[in-house]
Amino acid sequence: MAAAIALFRPGKDKQDPQDTQNTQVLLIKNHNFVHFKREKRGFFRKASLLEVLKKFGNCGRLPGPECVTMDKHLLVLIKGAGDLATGVAVRLHRAGFAVAMTELERPLTVRRTVAFAQAIFDGQHTVEGITAQRCTVTAAAACLEQRMIPVMIDAAATVNTLLRPRVLVDGIMEKRNTGTRIDDAGLVIALGPGFVAGLDCHAVVETNRGHNLGRVIWQGSAEADTGEPGILPGATAQASRVLRAPYAGFVQPCHAIGDLVTAGATLALIQQDSQEPVPILAPFSGVLRGLIHPSVPVTTGLKIGDVDPRAQPAHCYTVSDKSLAIAGGVLEAILTQY
């Protein structure tokens, strides 16, 4: 079922649904953009989503009173496609927003089963019934038309100038600003520490576990990075759930994500050139929740894995409670402004 959002006459201030002279109409059909442009009297053609994005993508609407789009159908570009950014993408996608993402050529994410970054390695990846596809910026529109999330290799997010999203979300989670500016989009939202709302972005969403998780900050910053991961039920403060590389090399997995493991089990090996591989041991019993892709070169101290003491394999395949809380903050920020 398609519903006409509005009719307008280019260059005119008043809308007249009865006047089909030189009229264009934008429809929303099953959450998809369908733009029909009048070419001859009595005839309309279906335009591609790329044409729609070019015309409406800058601000999600036409200038002045000629608004034709529903605000929730505006384009959101997310920098980063790790598990937290993916949680944001999943929630916004379900709410009806058009979502696109950018990633590194070799993503560093460890929770790969619930990260759209995995699409960079596999071509496509599905999380909770939503599919992301690796593509170029020129193919992004076709991907969106198919109700998939385009994931583009673009470390610097230069596609922002081409897609011209209404909302930009920095979900890189570097704990520092790697180049996001407050004028990158009409609304710029940053996740976690390293940003100042009102200076680097319009809003910051708290990512630290605790009372303020998911809270939207319009002035100031998120809680400072402690350098230590949050403690999950079942783990002690002395045993970190995060696995880090003892030195540079490549990770050779000995277990798959979702496997139940016991304390002291060899989860992976770090191989550096011709040296003897060094085992990465489980700090406690639980489930292997994340492990970096074996094709990614790692550096000393880099996060390469994650063990969850709650020992629920099913949690490895669904968006986490933390990701959903953060996603709720992003959704709140968008709806507050639009």
- Confidence grade of residue 273 (pLDDT, cut at 50, 70, 90): confident
56 vs 171: which has the higher pLDDT: 171
Residues 6+ apart with CB under 8 A from 217: 197, 203, 204, 205, 206
What is the domain partition of the chain in residue ranges? 2-56, 75-227+321-337, 242-309
Mean pLDDT within 215-240: 77
The one-letter amino acid code at 94 reads R
Between CA 129 and CA 81 the distance in angstroms is 16
Contact (Cβ atoms closer than 8 angstroms) between residue 155 and residue 80: no
The CATH code that applies to domain 242-309 is 2.40.50.100
Give the global pTM.
0.79
The confidence score (pLDDT) of residue 66 equals 33
Mean pLDDT within 312-318: 97
The pLDDT of residue 64 is above 70: no
CATH T-level assignment (fold) for domain 75-227+321-337: Rossmann fold (3.40.50)
6 vs 301: which has the higher pLDDT: 301
